[in-house]
A and B are shown apart, each in its own frame.
Chain A
């Protein structure tokens, strides 16, 4: 809060005197809420050189003001932000330094500002083009000021119903609405043009009259002067273009120590080519306050080693600066890690920057199990493990061959068919049982033929006709309302959550409420009628689409794209237009979101995570990696198999899950594999592969894999307990990967597990019947359950156990039971 009272509140009790003096002397800090954390008082680092950003200033107009950020480079090359310790002095009366430490123009001409830290100083040239008086703009000045103090926050007047009869659009997304609220509501109650300082909109936040929202700024603050000036100028509505883009400096703040801080500058760029420093009006947040905090004035303060994002919001635009805090890495030395393809290069670059050392390559057995489960949903069989381990070809060669083999296998098709059946909500509840088979088979064919992903989606979006004859049309049978179709489409295919902006603008993205209805309008022309066959539905395009109406104005909303509208090929059929736009290689989200989603399938975490919540405030952990994956995916014609192959072939994918000293706190940068609990179907299928018992699922033939079930209607308690999705929501989160007590008890003591282990046609029964020796039994059980041979010690222990129990069959079953309940089986790692 940039107020005088803010200053009093800000000085901590035990602040060292020296620094307290620095605080008082430094205008740059006067409005800061300083962190009083004991023992973390940052000393001014000793630096060799000062660097000021921007290196020169250009100011124009009486309302312009610019902030400087100052960085010092130490002898060892490490850089520290010194903005908080800087003394600024105007070189002449052409400029002044205001109480927030901003350089403000006073008269036209050229001058300098002296920037001093300790004994070092730099002169920054400043050019003042003019100091013309620009009237206060409602759009450019008033709304940002109100946003900054929080008038239009979701907890205040931006709430859906406003507060006490005064409602603003959430975070100022709708200037005309806000103008009407301030000026027009109740015949101008909230301003007083005759006596601006008597305006309710000034009296309330200054507590001149009672205000439930409390005291927000005083009469001397900049916010007050902006609002008052606007009223004094007659409360004009202007048609200033809103800001087109915001930019944050530094782009990738790197804080060397956990005492470091970094001031940010936010620049707003307008459509007319002008730019303004809007640091004071931007709203800052941190993505993770356990790693770094960001003050109201835009200063990042490190909390601990790690990564977070400084989230910046200004006028409905969002930007994020990835913050890296290095902390104490004494003794760290980067060692070149193997790089098999571009993925590894880009991952390692990030690791090196963050001073993280990746884990080594996983063993062949680990690789085989991991790749088999990720690519086909099934663990390898005993024979496959033996064969692979016996393969004497060089590691890379044989692993690559294995990947190709898995990708070409029928199990691969079943596995990815399941994934898409989940995401597309193939559910007999919506589309009849016959429909769910038809839809599944359509998806299956697409996977089997490796249909280009853009074509796959295009066919879904434009599907017409009988849901039985053209199963893709089931897409519109499952989601029956334009709004629902649109929500599902955006979440699955562009990885964003448009449902948030149904009632108000998206709280963390630039999407507006209006865009929600505009985008829904593309699906307003989908007709549905009963077909001649019982249970069949015909999807067709209506001659006159139904009206999509705005909920608060009642206005009919025409179809329009929320971004990249230049991709519209203007087809007369709105769904074709949508499909053209959506699946375009230039659509900035379409390819990126699927690449990110597939990455998460192989790594347990997206480069953007959650994968279906892409937004500016949820930045990727490694942007160059995601960009390059996307670029290649598009260049390769949206080839999903190829994408999977490239990912699986990387060293990054094949890293051990065991962390080392330099990467054990890393969960973002893929420096080691992350163990993931097997999904419900994987667990069920793996259990049957391991035990050799045939699976019996009601409604499908014996031996059918769980992942082949076309429809969640088939109730299997085991699968539901382990988080099989009911296919009612397109969110990835619908598939639960939670671990629960009932799961544990069921693994230990449940019928699914025990029936499989003791099955008379199962592995143990067959081994015992064949009178296999103890070593073979132990070896085979290890190979079957955890897909690797036992170590010497394990073998010895297993054999001793078998010998110690009278009943060999029961002893072998016990061994198998123990392994089934071990992390090596329950997790893909």
Chain B
């Protein structure tokens, strides 16, 4: 084998130090002469601020009149004056705030790691210079909203309960559009680059989003649907969050995340009321049971898990490794309106309907809760949604270079009537027999690009979908015909980029 390289050494060092960002690369920063390279604002200091500070100090919130989202704002400081004195760590306000036995900042969170403080201190000592490459500077705010040289990928869609507004994910913002696609009606600019999921509370008062900036932080945003002002931003973990879902009474909010955890928040105060860590890979979606007592979550680990909201206790694997699921796992789950049933879909492309609660004792490798599967979609299912009456659902998928969207009839399967009987093999046959009868209502036409998001309008008349190409496509539910296609942002092509 080849000799161990410095890169391997960095890998090892980084692996050990991983969860605390920003200074993990210190060991790599030795030059060939063994001298320590200057601390980089962009690569070392900024990630610390981004992770630990900008949840409060960002334009929509601006606590202490301090912004920590750009170098210029960081340097300018807030109501208490300049944040740091270049070349002089002891005179720098920030170090007063973050160091010591009981540091003032970060507010309501654990103190920074001493090594992180050291990075900031050394950077100030070295002059506190900005080395952010010009290309990556980010000056986006509500006053200076994102500009698009190409349409952004659509990752999330939802309708308001009055069926009047379509909520669409954008880059660094949530876009609001008239439900018929006629005109944009609002933009809500936040700090998360990615909006992974959007949901509107059943009472229509809040628009929620989960997302974050990859590899930096995850965020839940609650926006007032009427005023379009940010009500609350909650930073969670070091990477994006997924799968926004309100309980039927609009009081609780569930989501998954890149730290594998499934969480439930109190909508009123943003406090976390449940955290379940039984998934062994990223959790992509969560949905409440009819009464809101339980949460069903799905994950890249291929499992569908049931937890109790009140205690946070993991109850059961609805399926431990969902039969047929391929690597990539399950990506979507939704409660069937009014029924203790969930529909799930993922990398194997097959929508599957499950009972939430067991009526038979669990056996290793069983699939007793499985009601039926539906005809597989091409590629991987990214999203699915029931019609308001729960009799139909729409699922969308991607093959990587194209996509599909289909409307299925759920079939007459109410929980009390379905009981899989006999041994594992018998159960398999019963499921297969029911699955064979699954009925496709519409293959939605005109799709030539991966589809990542779908929404069923609450009045049951229209379906909206979007994905890789950044176009929103609207379909009439009755006919399955496409009624409108539009790009929800203004696109200003960049000057033909050259090398």
Contacts and interface: CB of A to CB of B under 8 A. Distances in A.
A198 B3 contact: no
A552 interface: yes
A320 to B, nearest CB: 16
Contact of B497 (A176, A187, A206, A232): A232
Given A207-B43, A219-B133, A187 B171 contact: no
A99 interface: no
Contacts of A133: 496, 498
B2 A289 contact: yes
Interface stretch (A189-197, A446-454, A573-581, A731-739): A189-197
A225 B47 contact: no
B400 A9 contact: no
A8 interface: yes
Contacts of A554: 326, 348
Interface in B314-343: 326-328
A212 B196 contact: no
A234 B326 contact: no
Instruction: With a 10 A CB-CB cut-off, give which of A165, A193, A213, A553 has the most chain B CB atoms.
Output: A193
Contacts of A233: 497
Interface stretch (A178-186, A414-422, A504-512, A710-718): A178-186
Contacts of B498: 62, 133
A529 B363 CA distance: 35
A183 B402 CA distance: 12
A666 B366 CA distance: 64
Given A194-B150, A237-B401, A188 B155 contact: yes
B275 interface: no
Contacts of B33: 13
Interface in B42-96: 42-43, 47
A729 to B, nearest CB: 23
A232 B494 contact: yes
Contacts of B193: 192, 198
B136 A197 contact: yes
A194 B25 contact: no
A212 B400 contact: no
Contact of B150 (A179, A187, A193, A219): A193
A637 interface: no
B155 A187 contact: yes
Given A208-B136, A212-B18, A229-B497, A200 B153 contact: no
Contact of A179 (B2, B7, B194, B401): B401
Given A133-B498, A209-B216, A553-B326, A198 B136 contact: yes
A210 interface: yes
A215 interface: yes
B400 A180 contact: yes
B450 interface: yes
Contacts of A218: 133
B31 A213 contact: no
B152 interface: yes
Contacts of A12: 32
B30 to A, nearest CB: 10
A285 B2 contact: yes
Contacts of B300: 165
A10 B31 CA distance: 10
Nearest to B32: A9
Interface string B20-32: 0110110010011
Contacts of B327: 552
Nearest to B27: A214
A63 B171 contact: no
B398 interface: yes
Contact of A187 (B8, B136, B153): B153
Given A194-B152, A197-B136, A215-B25, A179 B215 contact: no
A786 to B, nearest CB: 41
A197 B43 CA distance: 14
Contacts of B15: 212
Interface string B130-158: 00010110100000001011111101000
Interface residues of B, number: 65
Interface residues of A, number: 54
Contacts of B150: 193-194, 232, 234
A552 B326 CA distance: 7
Interface string B147-175: 01111110100000000000000010000
A189 B153 CA distance: 9
A210 B47 contact: yes
B14 A212 contact: yes
Contact of B47 (A198, A209, A219, A553): A209
A194 B149 contact: yes
B152 A193 contact: yes
A444 to B, nearest CB: 43
A242 B137 CA distance: 36
A214 B10 contact: yes
A185 B399 CA distance: 10
B148 A194 contact: yes
Contacts of B32: 8-13
A203 interface: yes
Given A165-B282, A192-B171, A197 B452 contact: no
Nearest to B240: A189
B179 interface: no
Interface in B448-477: 450, 452-453, 467-468, 470
A355 B321 CA distance: 64
A397 B326 CA distance: 69
B11 interface: yes
Given A188-B153, A229-B497, A210 B28 contact: no
B358 to A, nearest CB: 28
11 contacts: A155-B8, A184-B380, A187-B153, A188-B155, A189-B240, A194-B150, A197-B135, A197-B136, A209-B216, A214-B11, A234-B150
The 4 closest A-B pairs by CB, nearest first: A180-B400, A209-B215, A188-B153, A187-B452
Given A204-B215, A209-B215, 19 more contacts: A9-B32, A62-B499, A63-B499, A176-B401, A183-B400, A184-B400, A187-B382, A187-B452, A188-B155, A195-B138, A195-B171, A197-B135, A198-B193, A212-B14, A212-B15, A214-B10, A219-B133, A232-B150, A237-B401
Interface of A: 8-13, 62-63, 133, 150, 155, 165, 176, 179-180, 183-185, 187-190, 192-195, 197-198, 200, 203-204, 206-215, 218-219, 225, 229, 232-234, 237, 285, 289, 552-554
